[in-house]
Amino acid sequence: MLTRDQDGRPTGEAFVEVPSEAAQQAALTLHRARMGPRYIEIFVASKPDMQQVQSSSIEYQIPFSTA
């Protein structure tokens, strides 16, 4: 889930649900990884954390498949 502010602009935050603890640990290894000139920060968040942000922002979901 990518979030947008009340004006529809991207906030720069995203939530990703992973299928397992192993996938979570693998994702956490990418904390501070570079994406072009930018870097990403990865944190563990709970479902209530995501729901709180979701209720106060405009949600934009991108379908994702590992296949």
For the entire predicted model, the pTM comes to: 0.68
Which residues have a Cβ under 8 Å from the Cβ of 44 and sit 6 or more positions away?
Answer: 24, 28
Picking from 52, 42, 54, 51, the residue whose alpha carbon sits closest to that of residue 18 is 42
The alpha carbon of 13 is separated from its chain's Cα centroid by a whole number of angstroms, namely 6
Kindly state whether residue 11 falls inside one of the protein's structural domains: yes
Kindly state whether residue 67 falls inside one of the protein's structural domains: no
Kindly state whether residue 66 falls inside one of the protein's structural domains: no
Kindly state whether residue 34 falls inside one of the protein's structural domains: yes
Helix (H), strand (E) at residue 48: helix 47-55
Boundaries of domain holding 43: 2-60
Q: How many structural domains does the chain have?
A: 1
Q: Report DSSP state, residue 13.
A: E
Kindly state whether residue 65 falls inside one of the protein's structural domains: no
pLDDT per residue as tens digits for the range 10-58: 888 889 999 999 999 999 999 999 999 999 999 999 989 888 887 776 5
